[in-house]
Chain A
Amino acid sequence: MRYVGQRILFSILSLCVLLFITFLLSHVVSGDPAIVAAGPNAGADKIAAVRQEMGLDRPLLVQFWIYCSNILHGDLGTSWFTRQPIASDIIRELPPSLELVFVAMVINLAVSLPLGLLTARYAGTTFDDVVRLVVMAGAGLPIFWLAIILQQVVAGQWRLLPTAGRLGFENRDFTGATGFTLLDSLMQGRFDVFADALAHLVLPAFALTLLFTAVGVRITRTAMMGEFRKDYVVLARAKGASEGRIMVRHVFANGATPALTVFGMQFGWMLGATVLVEEIFGRPGIGRYAVKAVTQSDIHAVVAVVFVVGLVFLISNLVVDIALFLLTPRKHAGA
């Protein structure tokens, strides 16, 4: 349990760094935050009032303290564009993005893990070389370009999948309790909506994941390579265990841990990369919200997105690490 405690402590430390970074962005880099917060049309008196209210006339360290306590109370500021609390905007926009990243992650794992395992097993063969080449190519594709091309070809030319949006026209009124369309539709037994939502997710998720999958295959391969050389594999082979059994029961079970840590991190990175995909596919979400906020110079909204994505990143890492620890307790006993 000491590991879990340490892990949580590290997350709290990370949260502090994250707060420090976002504070830097909103209070130091972007100029006078009072002018930003007071919004357009604000006179000098209003700005002075806001400055005092936000404590901007106090030393930076005090300001940082105020900033942190505001955020920890769930106050991310007010968007001068939508005139709404940013926190409520983000709560609305987060589920569709998380859903997209979730589907992208499923594709990622479904491709990376088996391909990584197989290339490790058959390292040095033509199969390995070909996969390596494909992976390298995948790592060089700009996400946003891939998204445009996929949209134009698969949806536009071939008409295999929908072009844009989250749901088809006939399901436009669908709402659910959680905001996750896939989950809501299953809970309500609306399998038609589920299929529709999934069809709308395939292209953006694929475009989003390709680059990460390319990294995922390599990471998995490296992790598995190490396992194949270990004594127990040699021993298992000597005992006459089948190659498939060795791969799945031994190598994969043990080698997956370091790889899964990376996938945990990828979850947060993917959430950040939604800024490149959502606008193209006309999907609502935190990425599109961020892009809008950027072009509207709505600094507080942008910084809030940075914070929330960072937070999701921290949480997903923590969850993956603790889950792995609980699943394979012996590995960490000495740590």
Chain B
Amino acid sequence: MRVLRRLLSFPKTNVERTAIVLGCLILLLALVGAFLVPFDPMKIDFRAKLQAPSMLHWLGTDGSGRDVLSRLLYGARLTLASTFAVIIVVVIIGCTIGIASAFVGGAVDNMLMRLADIWLGFPPLILALGFASALGASLEAAIWALIFSWWPNYARLSRMVTADILSQKFIASADALGVPTHRKVLHYVIPNAMDVMLIQIALDISAVMLAISGLSFIGVGAQIPAPEWGAMIADGRSYVSNGWWIVLAPGIAIFITAVSFNVIGDMLRRELDPTSRRR
């Protein structure tokens, strides 16, 4: 209850409140949207192709006669699930490396962090493109590709937090009591790292989503008939002259989702990040 009340005290402006409502709504749609779809998102009906938005098809139909709204709702799950898959794996891998690096310390720590620094700098999209094409085009390949290029973010972040905690006094006393490493991680590091991770995750949602849809757009991500939003835009490209809605709808969906999570991430940073609060 206290956590909830604390969370509810975060939003300070209408923009932030709207973003939270939209963000929740999008997550909800991603969860249950597939059950709400008015039409089968995969079912081809060429007789109904390229219909403009109407009462029957709110967002029109695409070049193969599929209902754009149904594909959008169904694709919400696909797009967000891929995004979260990337983030979850990246958090696990990144934090494992980061925390281990901080505990081990010394030259290994130094080397790993240098590696992360450098790796992080390289253009993530082109790195992911290289990796995805090495693996062969599929949504899974795109997901792995982004994991491959994103992990250093969290390695660095978690290493920073862990090193910070390890330098504090209560750790020295825990050491004196002979607390084993895994308990130190569970009891001190993870709870303290939560806030910082949460901010980073919220900010990364839009970045990862844009990257996945970008890869799908190029053709190395989701394949037909999967209604991943980037793939839907790629699919609608040929029809812009007589079916503008096919490209417009998924683009706006990506836009709204990305902006909502950006605003939420920004808000979290203001409320949770000690360095930004000091300002």
Which of B130, B233, B254 lies in contact with A140, CB distance below 8 A? B254
B residues contacting the other copy or chain, number (CB 8 A): 50
Among A210-265, those with CB < 8 Å from B are 211, 225, 265
- Whether the Cβ atoms of A14 and B121 lie closer than 8 Å is yes
Shortest distance from the beta carbon of A322 to any chain B beta carbon, whole Å: 16
The contact of A17 among B119, B131, B134, by CB within 8 Å, is B119
Across-interface contacts of B259 in A (CB, < 8 A): 136-137, 139-140
B63 contacts partner chain A, Cβ-Cβ < 8 Å: no
A317 CA to B118 CA in the complex, in Å?
12
B258 proximity list for chain A (CB < 8 A): 139-142
Complex alpha-carbon distance, A141 and B207, angstroms: 10
The reply to whether B134 and A136 form a contact with Cβ atoms under 8 Å apart is no
CB distance from B15 to the nearest CB of A (A): 6
Interface membership of chain B positions 6-27, coded 1 if the CB is closer than 8 angstroms to chain A and 0 otherwise: 0000000101000000000000
Report B200 CB to chain A, min CB distance, Å.
15
Q: Is the CB of B233 within 8 A of A310?
A: no
| B220 at the binding interface (Cβ < 8 Å) | yes
Q: Are B214 and A290 in contact (CB under 8 A)?
A: no
A34: which B residues are within 8 A, CB to CB? none
B121→A303 contact, CB < 8 A: no
Which of B114, B132, B210, B220 interacts with A142 by CB under 8 Å? B210
Please tell me which one of the listed residues A149, A152, A265, A291 contacts residue B218 in the complex, with CB atoms under 8 A apart.
A291
Q: Contact between A21 and B129 (Cβ–Cβ < 8 Å)?
A: no
Report the stretch among A45-53, A87-95, A269-277 that lies at the interface.
Answer: A269-277
Q: Shortest distance in angstroms between A310's beta carbon and chain B's nearest beta carbon?
A: 5
Separation of A309 and B126 alpha carbons in the complex (Å): 8
Residues of B within 8 A of A148 (CB): 233, 237, 240, 247, 251
Decide if B255 is an interface residue (CB 8 Å cutoff).
yes
Contact of A29 among B115, B135, B240, B266 (CB under 8 A): B135
**Residue B44 is within 8 A (CB to CB) of chain A in the complex:** no
Partner of B131 from the list A29, A265, A269, A295 (CB cut-off 8 Å) is A29
Interface residues on A, range: 35 or more
Interface flag for A79 (CB, 8 Å): no
Residues from chain A with Cβ under 8 Å of B162 in the complex = none
- The interface residues of chain B lying within 8 Å CB-to-CB of A30 are 134-135
Chain A residues with CB under 8 A of B114 = 13
Tell whether, in the assembled complex, residue A136 and residue B126 are in contact, meaning their CB atoms are under 8 Å apart: no
Residues of A within 8 A of B218 (CB): 275-276, 291, 294
Interface of A is mostly: helix
* Most chain A Cβ neighbours within 10 Å, of B115, B119, B217: B217
For B219-241 the 0/1 string (1 means CB < 8 A from A) is 11000000000100100010011
Whether a CB of chain A sits under 8 angstroms from the CB of B70 is no
B-side contacts of A310, CB under 8 Å: 122-123, 126-127
Q: Which residues of B contact A265 (CB under 8 A)?
A: 121
Q: Is the CB of B118 within 8 A of A295?
A: no
B84 at the interface (CB under 8 A from A): no
* Cβ-defined contact, A21 with B262, below 8 A: no
Complex Cα gap A141–B206 (Å)? 10
**Interchain CB contact (< 8 A) of A306 among B121, B130, B135, B263:** B130
Known: A17-B115, A141-B255, A149-B251. A25 touches B131 (CB 8 A): yes
Residues of B close to A293: CB separation below 8 A: 133
Q: In whole Å, how far is A34's beta carbon from the nearest beta carbon of chain B?
A: 15
Closest A residue to B240 by beta carbon equals A152
Per-residue interface assignment for chain B, residues 109 to 150, with 1 indicating a CB less than 8 Å from any chain A CB and 0 otherwise: 000001100110111111101111111110000000000000
CB distance from B10 to the nearest CB of A (A): 16
Quick check: is B244 within 8 A (CB to CB) of the other chain?
Answer: yes
Cβ-neighbour of A18 out of B122, B134, B217, B266 (below 8 A): B122
A133 within 8 A of B: yes
Q: Is the CB of B133 within 8 A of A294?
A: yes
Are A317's CB and B121's CB within 8 A? yes
Q: A145-B254, A302-B129 are in contact. Are A313 and B134 (CB under 8 A)?
A: no
Partner of B125, one of A145, A272, A295, A299: A272
Task: Confirm or deny: B101 has a beta carbon within 8 angstroms of a beta carbon on chain A.
Answer: no
A26 within 8 A of B: yes
**8 shortest A-B CB distances, which residue pairs?**
A272-B123, A140-B258, A272-B126, A140-B259, A145-B251, A30-B134, A306-B130, A29-B134
Residues of A participating in the B interface, judged by any CB pair closer than 8 Å: 13-14, 17-18, 21-22, 25-26, 29-30, 129, 133, 136-137, 139-145, 148-149, 152, 156, 211, 225, 265, 268-269, 271-273, 275-276, 280, 290-291, 293-295, 297, 299, 302-303, 305-306, 309-310, 313, 317
Q: List 15 A-B contacts (CB under 8 A).
A: A13-B114, A14-B121, A18-B122, A136-B266, A139-B258, A139-B259, A140-B262, A149-B247, A269-B124, A271-B126, A272-B127, A275-B125, A275-B129, A290-B129, A302-B129
Q: A142-B210, A271-B123, A293-B133 are in contact. List 13 more A-B contacts (CB 8 A).
A: A13-B114, A25-B131, A133-B15, A137-B259, A144-B217, A145-B250, A145-B251, A145-B255, A280-B237, A294-B220, A295-B219, A297-B136, A313-B121
